[in-house]
Amino acid sequence: MDNWFFYVVLGLLIGGIIAFVWEELNHSGAWSDAKSRISIVRQQRIDILKQLDQKPPEKTDIKNEAVTLVYKVAASQNHFSLKDIETFTRQIQNYYLNNLNSPSTFKMNFPEKKLLNFDPAQTLMLLTIINEGLHNAALYSNANFIFNIAYIEDDKLHIITHDNGIGYDRNKNIDAGGINKILKAITTLKGDLKLTSTAGNGTVVNTQIPLS
């Protein structure tokens, strides 16, 4: 009986030691992963500011200041929620409202409850898409309303800039550089672009970003 009790206690002791060691190893691995992730996003922030310093200036001071704002925002923190993207979109809207002689009223509709997180590099791409769409709409569309819309469908985040302005002929695009920047950002995010514009019926820039 005494030997039986001894072996039970010994088994429990060994099991406890194994469980403790296993938990410590798992904790150590998770901690290592977390530190690695923090290091990656910090490096992204550094790289974004380097890109800003090295990039050529835009064609106008207004556009240059807007792009600078986008880069500085993307480098300002490690993680961004969709609510953060909405807040910074509002800042860009207000910037164009205050600095361009635009007849447009700016509107916005972003989802309130969906929790998404973006790293600085992803945020830079998203805000670049939004900024380029806003710049073109505010400068060229003569729209009464310019909308920024976000919604989630089929595991994709849709970011839309929609104006009810004069539209344009894509073969006579007066700011192809802006569309090219949108396309580059979408390619980086592995997304798609649906661009719809007809003379007299406004323009819709619909970017679709896979959430995976």
DSSP, residue by residue, 169-206 = -GGG-TTHHHHHHHHHHHHHTT-EEEEEE-TTS-EEEE
Q: List the pLDDT tens digit at each of the 212 positions of the chain.
A: 556 555 555 566 666 666 665 665 565 555 566 667 778 889 999 999 999 999 999 989 999 999 999 999 999 999 999 999 999 999 999 999 999 887 889 999 998 766 788 999 999 999 999 999 999 899 888 889 999 999 999 899 999 999 998 887 666 555 567 888 999 999 999 999 998 887 778 899 999 999 87
Please state, as a whole number, how many other Cβ atoms lie within 10 Å of the Cβ of residue 192.
14
